[in-house]
Copies of this chain bind each other. A is one copy, B any other.
């Protein structure tokens, strides 16, 4: 019996229609679907494709502890890779569901790294939250010969400042509790008036707010900040 294949499949930003034809085909025919779940047992990635997964598929929910120290997460990835490998050894195909795209700041890469030396792995790219945010906002992410920077919110204030000074186009991800620090930096760079915050893009409850319209002390959850200072001349 030949071994199965692991597919790391991007399921896009949330709208079930923003899944690709290839992702839908692979998910529909998967023997096993694996997906990250949070502490409450909820999986955002699985919810996106709830209507696509076959009722006959085995489910493999994967809990990864979200802590600053990386040891516990590494152990969780080791365990998950071992469970996935067990299915692959038995000739089952495993589809690992990834929000957005598997290789764009996702956790699938830690599984891929552990499995790809022993079994066939294929990555299916997906629509990222970045381009979904830009689409919902109705403004380009970047144009012509502009530099586009993708900056994680947990970066230090100095590093954010260094990257955002003289920057025309940026997307700031993982905003959460870093919101006020980020807004301070954007104000310092003269970019606060060219910035929008997009919450839950393409999902129920989506909100789009100009950065300066967010009340002091508010912490926008699950959001991305887009900066586009290309002016009216896009």
Q: Using CB atoms and an 8 Å cutoff, list the residues of chain A in contact with chain B.
A: 10, 12-13, 15-22, 24-25, 101-106, 109-110, 112-113, 116, 121, 123-128, 131-132, 134-136, 138-152, 154-155, 159, 163, 174, 234
Contact = CB atoms under 8 A, between A and B. Distances in A.
Nearest to A102: B135
Contact of A104 (B141, B144, B159): B141
B109 A143 contact: yes
Q: Which 4 A-B pairs have the closest CB atoms?
A: A17-B22, A123-B135, A125-B131, A148-B150
A150 to B, nearest CB: 4
A152 to B, nearest CB: 4
9 contacts: A18-B125, A19-B21, A101-B127, A105-B142, A105-B143, A113-B234, A128-B128, A128-B131, A148-B149
